[in-house]
Amino acid sequence: MPPAGSTSGPAYAALSLIDSPKLTAPAGHYAHVAVHRGLAYLSGQLPVTPEGDKLSHEPFLTQAEQVLRNIDACLAVAGTSRDRLLSVTVYVTDIADWPAFDRLYRNWLGSHRPQRAVAGVKELHYGAAVEVHAIAAVD
């Protein structure tokens, strides 16, 4: 059996931990995307630009647009796309922003409608107003 935290050996042959070159490097001990058995698990994406600028001081929609661009970058590096999303979880610090996010999200996805959950939370890292986590098919 491989040591804890190892991603080698027969049981782990299909596991890939990937960082997108189009995003700033993860600020913590995680990968942007984990791909395993035909699924891409995207780490929560915050409104941080590829250059590392944190957009928490920007209006909600500016933050949300950046988050969705970051999701696109994660999907691309995993070899998949928006139309392969299966599950999306959205965290917002003000539930009153939900309708604005939903309109942006609807335009971003078009007719594709993956499973989704929204959670109102007290706070997010860097003082962000929105974070999105997703799972997509890659096979």
* pLDDT at position 80: 98
C-alpha separations of 45 from 2, 15, 23, 54, 123 in Å: 30, 21, 10, 12, 14
Q: Residue 96: is it exposed, middle or buried by C-beta count within 10 angstroms (0-12/13-18/19+)? A: exposed
pLDDT for position 139: 80
Q: Which residues contact 73 (CB under 8 A, 6 or more apart)?
A: 20, 22, 23, 32, 50
pLDDT at 11: 53
Chunked into runs of 10 residues, the chain (139 residues) has average pLDDT values of 49 82 95 97 98 98 98 98 98 97 98 97 98 96
pTM: 0.90
